[in-house]
Structure 1
Amino acid sequence: MERAHIAGRRPRRLDPAVYLPRDVQLGVLEYLSVRELARCSALSRAWHDVCYDGKLWQSINTDEFYSRISSEQLARLVGVGGNFVKELILRGCTHIHVDDAMAIGRSVRNLRFLSLEGCRFFDHNSLTQMVKSNPQLEHIDIAGVATATNTTCFAIGSFCQNLTYLDTSFCQYIDSSGIFDIVRTCGRLQHVKISGCRGIDDRALMKALRGLPDLARLDMAECKVLTDDSVRVLVSGSTEPIPVHGQTQRPTVEPLRSLTHLNLSRCKRLTNRTLADLAHAVPNLQVLEVAGVLGFKDEGFSRLLPTLNELYYLDCEGCKDITDDTLVSLWRAPFARKLKHLQLSSCDRISSQGVCRVLRRCIRLQNLELDNTSVNDTVVVAAIRVTRRRMNKLFDHLETPAQRHLLARVGVQELNDVLLRVSVYDCPSITWESVYEVMRRNSETRVFSVDGVSTATCKPIAITAPMATKTGGTLEQLVNGLARAGDADKASPCPLSPADSIASSSPASVATSYSFARTASTASSQSDDDDAPRFVELPMGLIRLKCYYGWQKIVDTHFGRVSRGEYADARRLEHEWAEWMSGDAGFRSRYHDTVSEQRAASTDDTLNSEADQHADAAAAAPRRPVSSLSAVAGAVGAMTGGFAPDSPLWFMRERRFHRRRHDQLLAQIVTDTGADENAMSFGRIVARRPRRNGVSQCAIA
């Protein structure tokens, strides 16, 4: 080694693909993604042989790269895995040719999971051959495959006896007879999704579905021929009226105890009789989707909702005939304290009072959809009160000495348990004042001492709380304790368990770790004095609001800053937006504390002197005829210094300009040009940066 160094030659490096044992190589490479394996395979022949070992390709998922891989390359990739492939997901691969589809069907022999959702033109013979060659299939998803027919269903029913998941949604050439062939022979089915299929009103099919002992999910959305008689056959086995016990007034037929998810959305022929038949027939139902069914009214919901005990997801979007009577039945139902998602969009007849009562009684509610309704600001105010009560319960528990060590580990992912998502899009009665109140409440914080001392003597530090580092189940015990405390107090809401959170409604902008400190610059102070008391700053409430699209970008930006612990920036954003919406330059001062007012006063003299200089320079300039309104706006833009309209300094200058000088200059310009004074008011002219050639660019707001 020394001689090689003296001669100027580099020492020879050992190639892990050559010297490491094969099992060790495969154990390391199995943590890489498909793209990373493809890159490593280009290093050398040895790496190519290792990266394309069949043991590394037991699962092939093309969700991330289906649009960038050719049909031939995809067939070659599946052929590399061969019999090792157990999970094949080709969702969205619409470009697979017939020959490549045949090659894929011949390559796999040990599949357990098959998803061809969206592969509209996947070869029919290849699909049938793939089903016959893999009798151990447990999951089949062929939703939207236009080439799937009843012959395919017959092959599935004949060869795949271990099937537990079936999705044939929107397959235009599959009807009730093909689905019946599968349900009749596959007795282990747990999830059946047959949305949009033809002939689903078949009574034989409904009896076969009722006979499945482990059926947990049944999705029959957009089955336009589904009628009340078909649902009655599913519930009782016949079209005759369901017999009822004389004393208990409950049906005597055996209920569907295993069914937890039922989707009847946009089934136009259903009426209140379906809801009445489902009463006491699905006691363990957790998810009910009946969006767009105009025949469902208050009478049907008043009979069904009191019989449900485990419901946590209810979708009634587009049920235009329901009123506050349905909401009363909802918050009085046994599941009211378990409800997490409520969809009431386009329900025109519900009132704000009914929604506020639901917010108070459904203490675990996480997502409330009220788009295109007549609710007003009182709903938003009620949501603010609910979240503050939830946060106060969490804070009261965290102040105990036994749980004080958790303060340094609390993150927004944890606070997701007390987060409330409210959607009031297209609600004309929602004003910008209520939206501002949500942002203002979200940015209010409370300081907690980590070391158990007074917060007045605490030293601020930056604390990052990644959810992935939490171990030991301490958080789960904490939240469960809060839930038990909430059960004792029915009037106050309590946080939820992270395991019960709804993945479909989780905010995409919330990251896995956040910093909760008063200021980011104080993080370095921890190294100066490690013995100093520590504290964290947490928000007093969290509401994720969806509102008018013109305000949504501001609301999302503000929530992102709060979730990252940037409370000062969030407060500055909300105050600037409030001033912009109200048109009141003194709006911000009413919400500033004493320190902020002193800082603003210290800079007023400098800003006003600069404004005077700009105004004097503009007034002293020689006046010449102005031929267009854009030139007028350019002259006004010269007063602002040419700053961009989204710049904070632009707003500060505009806010602190002397109105008297500005009005005099504008009046002089109007006199010289003869333009309309109302169209040229300063509030409607937005000045932009001047071009390089000296001509100012402007626009009329």
Structure 2
Amino acid sequence: MDRMDVSESQSPASPASAMSGQIALEQQQQSPKPKGPKRLLQGLQRISSSPSLVRRTRSYSAGYQRDRKASLSCVSLSSSNQCWGDPSTVTPEAPLIARSNSPSSNAPTPGGARVRVLGTLPNVSQATVPLPPEVRARSHSMLSETAVTATSNETTSKRKIDFWRDLPDEIKMRVLSYLSPKDLVRCSLVSKEWYSMCFDGQLWSRIDATGFYDRISADALLKIIIGAGPFVRDLNLRGCVQLRDKWIAEGERISDRCRNVVNVSLEGCRVDKTAIQFFLLRNARLRHINLSGLTTVTNSAMKIIAQTCAQLETLNVSWCANVDSKGLRRVVQACPQLRDLRAGEIRGFDNEALMLDLFERNTLERLVIHRTDVTDESLKVLVQGKDPEIDVLTDRPIVPPRKLRHLDLHQCGRLTDAGVSSLAHNVPELQALQLSQCTELTDNGIVKVLRTTPQLVHLDMEDLDKVTNTVLQELAQSPCAERLEHLNISFCENISDHGMRPVLRSCPRLRSIDMDNTRISDLSLVEACSLVRRRGGYGTNLPRVGMRIAVFDCIHVTWAGVLEVLSSNVFVPWTVKNKQPIVSVQETTSGSNQDHEDDGETSSPSSSSGSIPASGSASQPRQHHHQPRYYPQEIIQLKCFYGWQMTVDEHTKRVLRGDLAAAHRLDRKWADYMVATEGDATGGVGSRRRRRRVARLLEEDEDDPVTGQRRRRARSGGCVVM
């Protein structure tokens, strides 16, 4: 029986089923034809949607092929017959029976098509075959729930991202490098992994214990040094006295681990002599060595430095009592790159052989030989050499200029004008000169140096009794006047305003002036205030300290001069205060209320002439005028008589935080108080009136209704000081 007979023998399809089949056919014709597995599933769905397989008008399924190959649309319903070839051999009465227990049930079919094996199902009829649930059509809601479930399962099964663990080790080290040593030690307590990271040698290439040397134990510090030994480049153990026993017991181990140190500072440490020498032998790359104040450093250590550290640039052996010129000479001869030598309180600088070696090397840029036995002859050898050629016209030695930039000769009592004069014309790059407490110096030697040092920035002449105003007058006319920033003339009792005022007028870059125990007066303070106001100007930024002045124990400095400094620190000219106000424009929204507000603003008599009246059609932007606050950009920090110092310090704090009104009230009250107390000290007819004024000053002030702070009524009556 062919396919047409089967369809005729069945009952005709209902109109509803025919209509649904027609709609499905139209939808199929409109949509693009699927391919592959989707095509097979579409054919199965169409078959299951029809209640009858014998309807004559039903079209072939999409999976049916007319090239005489087997497909699921031509399966037989007979229990004895199966269709593997021609679809015309299908009988509607034969149900498809699968023998699941057959050994050949999984064998491939002769026609190449896969047949779904059906068992004995109670709901299976001769006209319909139910589809398996995995290919059965589902509603949109069921599909959405399935998609959401699959997404949630996928998210749950997805591995959680550990940001820190997934980072490369290089980035971890880079992040941890920004932590301080104290924070690194704290982070090491998190876990074993963090412990290994925090004590990695890459993070400890620079060990600087100056910030925590008094709060760390010797064992912890030793552990850090040993752990980071091969990576350490800068080792600063200044003040670590707790390592005294560790240097004795573990000194050789420390030296074996730390072999790549470039900069080392052991100032103030209690290091064993053997440990220092062993450390210097193991570090041939040292360039900067600081052994200041170590009594265990001897000439043997200098010999090791000369033999090992050929790249040495800086050596600090100040206050090393067991080092002399003999050991230093070996270092100077063996280290051609030595630029900084600090040897304060070292014996043997009267030895001309050491000075001659320094002259021939001519690499020093900083020489600190304070409190030594240097003499005029040895200083001349350092600057001019021995038996130099003399120029006939200028009567000066013909020698290469020295590269010295910083020369410290303070408290060298054997120096006189003859030795200091040798510096003239030979140190053109000198920037700092310290000659304090060289009591034999006079104006002649210093003036010659000032005229030939155009780069001078720092000049220290403290406690030179024989220096007069001539030095300061020459300083004001010298080439270095434009660059001078620091001047110390404390305890120079012969210096007064005649020398100091020209300096304040000619040196615009002065930042620090020490004038303790001199004869200067209030006139010098007034000149300093004028210099700071001229140089700093006025602006909207908060003030900063532009000059530091020390006038302690100056008998001619009175409270009037101190008040002048305080008044200058809060002074802002009216021309600066009344500058054009800043106009800020804000957008407004259209509306009746906004228009009403704009009309009120424009009609106000206090509004600016440049305001735009609001129109009825659209609202105009609102303009706000606010006056910026101006401050003096530089002020003077003053150190004066201890009875006035607390008031001066409080006044400076108020100015630095921008509260000029509070600072002005303070200096005004202090002026009234000083007028009253200074008048009472002298006595006179008006003593009762002055006592009443002091009592009024001590009463409680009124409360300011605006700021809520206590203030006193302002008084007018002219200047109460001058």
Coarse TM-score class (shorter-chain normalised):
0.5 to 0.7
Aligned counterpart, 1:39: 186
Cα pair distance change 1:192/1:540, threshold 3 Å: closer
Q: Is the 8 A contact 2:405 2:431 kept in 1?
A: yes
Cα pair distance change 1:23/1:346, threshold 3 Å: same
Q: Is the 8 A contact 2:408 2:434 kept in 1?
A: yes
SS of 1:336 mapped into structure 2: helix
CA distance in structure 1 between the partners assigned to 2:633 and 2:677 by the alignment: 27
Q: Is the 8 A contact 1:444 1:541 kept in 2?
A: no
One-letter amino acid of the counterpart of residue 291, structure 1: S
Asked if residue 563 in structure 1 is aligned to residue 710 in structure 2, the reply is: no
C-alpha distance after superposition, 1:86-113 (max 9, x if no partner) = 0000111122122244443332011011
Asked if residue 376 in structure 1 is aligned to residue 521 in structure 2, the reply is: yes
Cα pair distance change 1:266/1:529, threshold 3 Å: farther
Q: Is the 8 A contact 2:542 2:657 kept in 1?
A: no
Aligned counterpart, 2:210: 63
Aligned counterpart, 1:334: 479
CA distance in structure 2 between the partners assigned to 1:147 and 1:584 by the alignment: 59
Aligned counterpart, 1:602: none
Cα pair distance change 1:153/1:547, threshold 3 Å: same
The equivalences for 1:104-503 within 5 A come to: 104-119=254-269, 121-223=270-372, 225-238=373-386, 240=387, 243-256=389-402, 258-392=403-537, 410=541, 412=543, 419-445=546-572, 455=579, 457-458=581-582
CA distance in structure 2 between the partners assigned to 1:584 and 1:149 by the alignment: 62
Larger radius of gyration: 2
The equivalences for 1:656-695 within 5 A come to: none
Higher RCO structure, 1 or 2 (CA under 8 Å, sep 6+): 1
What CA RMSD, in Å, does the superposition of the two structures yield over aligned residues? 3.5
Deviates more, 1:533-542 or 1:191-200: 533-542
CA distance in structure 1 between the partners assigned to 2:400 and 2:316 by the alignment: 27
Q: 1:575 aligns with which of 668, 671, 695?
A: 668
TM-superposed deviation, 1:533: 5.6
CA distance in structure 1 between the partners assigned to 2:628 and 2:649 by the alignment: 27
CA distance in structure 1 between the partners assigned to 2:499 and 2:427 by the alignment: 26
CA distance in structure 2 between the partners assigned to 1:291 and 1:60 by the alignment: 36
SS of 2:480 mapped into structure 1: coil
Q: Is the 8 A contact 1:640 1:650 kept in 2?
A: no
C-alpha distance after superposition, 1:590-636 (max 9, x if no partner) = xxxxxxxxxxxxxxxxxxxxxxxxxxxxxxxxxxxxxxxxxxxxxx9
TM-superposed deviation, 1:248: 3.1
C-alpha distance after superposition, 1:355-407 (max 9, x if no partner) = 11111111221111101112111111111111122234xx5xxxxxxxxxxx6
Q: Is the 8 A contact 1:448 1:537 kept in 2?
A: no
Percent identity of paired positions between Structure 1 and Structure 2: 35
C-alpha distance after superposition, 1:217-269 (max 9, x if no partner) = 0110110x21111101111222x5x654222343222221x111101000010
TM-superposed deviation, 1:459: 7.0
CA distance in structure 2 between the partners assigned to 1:585 and 1:341 by the alignment: 34
TM-superposed deviation, 1:293: 0.3
One-letter amino acid of the counterpart of residue 429, structure 1: H
Q: Is the 8 A contact 1:312 1:338 kept in 2?
A: yes
Moved >4 Å (runs of 4+): 11-17, 446-449, 528-534, 639-643, 648-656
Asked if residue 52 in structure 1 is aligned to residue 202 in structure 2, the reply is: no
TM-superposed deviation, 1:543: 1.3
Aligned counterpart, 1:90: 237
C-alpha distance after superposition, 1:506-526 (max 9, x if no partner) = xxxxxxxxxxxxxxxxxxxxx
CA distance in structure 1 between the partners assigned to 2:235 and 2:329 by the alignment: 26
CA distance in structure 1 between the partners assigned to 2:159 and 2:473 by the alignment: 78
SS of 2:528 mapped into structure 1: helix
Q: Is the 8 A contact 1:235 1:278 kept in 2?
A: yes
CA distance in structure 1 between the partners assigned to 2:659 and 2:472 by the alignment: 38
Aligned counterpart, 1:624: none
CA distance in structure 2 between the partners assigned to 1:103 and 1:548 by the alignment: 56
CA distance in structure 2 between the partners assigned to 1:287 and 1:531 by the alignment: 53
CA distance in structure 2 between the partners assigned to 1:641 and 1:425 by the alignment: 33
C-alpha distance after superposition, 1:535-580 (max 9, x if no partner) = 3412175212111223223222222221221212211222232233
Q: Is the 8 A contact 1:146 1:173 kept in 2?
A: yes
Q: Which structure: greater helix fraction? A: 1
Cα pair distance change 1:535/1:84, threshold 3 Å: same
CA distance in structure 2 between the partners assigned to 1:247 and 1:585 by the alignment: 63
Q: Is the 8 A contact 1:545 1:555 kept in 2?
A: yes
TM-superposed deviation, 1:582: 2.6
One-letter amino acid of the counterpart of residue 651, structure 2: H
Where does the alignment leave 5 or more consecutive residues of structure 1 unmatched? 6-10, 396-406, 461-527, 587-635, 657-701
C-alpha distance after superposition, 1:276-323 (max 9, x if no partner) = 111111111111011110011011112221111111110001111100
TM-superposed deviation, 1:447: 7.9
Cα pair distance change 1:652/1:102, threshold 3 Å: same
Asked if residue 538 in structure 1 is aligned to residue 631 in structure 2, the reply is: yes
Q: Is the 8 A contact 1:17 1:50 kept in 2?
A: no
Q: Is the 8 A contact 1:374 1:429 kept in 2?
A: yes
One-letter amino acid of the counterpart of residue 369, structure 1: D
CA distance in structure 2 between the partners assigned to 1:265 and 1:585 by the alignment: 41
Q: Is the 8 A contact 1:585 1:655 kept in 2?
A: no
One-letter amino acid of the counterpart of residue 177, structure 1: K
Q: Is the 8 A contact 1:446 1:538 kept in 2?
A: no
Q: Is the 8 A contact 1:346 1:371 kept in 2?
A: yes
C-alpha distance after superposition, 1:10-63 (max 9, x if no partner) = x99976553322111111000010011111111111111111111000000001
TM-superposed deviation, 1:334: 1.1
The TM-score normalised by the length of structure 2 is 0.65
Q: Is the 8 A contact 1:164 1:188 kept in 2?
A: yes
CA distance in structure 1 between the partners assigned to 2:459 and 2:659 by the alignment: 35
CA distance in structure 1 between the partners assigned to 2:276 and 2:215 by the alignment: 23
The TM-score normalised by the length of structure 1 is 0.67
Cα pair distance change 1:377/1:76, threshold 3 Å: same
Where does the alignment leave 5 or more consecutive residues of structure 2 unmatched? 1-148, 153-157, 585-620, 680-694, 716-722
One-letter amino acid of the counterpart of residue 283, structure 1: P
SS of 1:309 mapped into structure 2: coil
Q: Is the 8 A contact 1:71 1:100 kept in 2?
A: no
CA distance in structure 1 between the partners assigned to 2:574 and 2:211 by the alignment: 42
CA distance in structure 1 between the partners assigned to 2:528 and 2:380 by the alignment: 39
TM-superposed deviation, 1:423: 1.1
CA distance in structure 1 between the partners assigned to 2:441 and 2:414 by the alignment: 10
